[in-house]
Amino acid sequence: MRHLLLAALLLAAAPALAQTAPSHSAEARRAELDRLFEDLRRAPDEIAAQAIENRIRTIWGQAISPALALLMRRGVRNLEANAPAEAVEDFDAVLALEPNVAEALVLRAEALARAGEPRQAAEDLRRALTLEPRHFGALASLSTLLEEAGDAMGAFRAMEAALALHPRMRGGEARLRELRRRAFGEAT
């Protein structure tokens, strides 16, 4: 009888235990991301910054299931193969299954921009930034879209925000100087 009671208690507690494990895992990821973003701001050079960026992207990727990771990789391959419509379909599938994946939104935005849909791309980037406000890639992509739309000041501000998070972003300082010149008419 005691064994049955113990089994019943364990079965009743299982859903609660299952719910706390993912949140703890999410909390651990968030804490590690906090530390990595601080390290990224203080990275001594581009090589160190790239290693930290890679670790941040790895953690972002760990938040999804293997099946979604497979769809994401297929979408990236389609982007690399210059097949943006197919890439959009892949990222749509990811987002249909898990709508709160910032990286999928950023990649779908890239595919949408390449497919000639800059407004939809900008919407995806803004949504990604709502989910992960520190997504420097989303900010840099938004900067490019705003520049292409003729909004030099918006492009400058988005790139400035990206560099506040990732000061050693490859090509970031040169891009910011050019955007500053366009937005303010300042000499570089």
Cut 0.85: pTM above it: no
- pLDDT tops 90 at residue 9: no
Q: Band of the pLDDT at 187, cuts 50, 70, 90?
A: low
- pLDDT tops 60 at residue 179: yes
- pLDDT tops 80 at residue 100: yes
- Residue 181 near residue 173, CB atoms below 8 Å: no
* Cα-Cα end-to-end distance for the chain: 81
pLDDT at 145: 97
Class of the CATH-defined domain 2-184: mainly alpha
Q: Band of the pLDDT at 25, cuts 50, 70, 90?
A: confident
Tell me the domain boundaries of the chain.
2-184
pLDDT at 1: 40
- pLDDT tops 50 at residue 11: no
Non-local CB neighbours of 114 within 8 Å, separated by 6+ positions? 79, 82, 84, 87
pLDDT at 73: 96
CA distance 56 to 96: 24
- DSSP of 46-101, one letter per residue? HHHHHHHHHHHHHHHHHTS-HHHHHHHHHHHHHHHTT-HHHHHHHHHHHHHH-TT-
pLDDT one-digit tens code per residue, 114-163:
999 999 999 999 999 999 999 999 999 999 999 999 999 999 999 999 99
CA distance 143 to 160: 9
- Residue 50 near residue 170, CB atoms below 8 Å: yes
pLDDT one-digit tens code per residue, 30-79:
999 999 999 999 999 999 999 999 999 999 988 889 999 999 999 999 99
Q: Band of the pLDDT at 18, cuts 50, 70, 90?
A: very low
CA distance 9 to 157: 55
- pLDDT tops 80 at residue 13: no
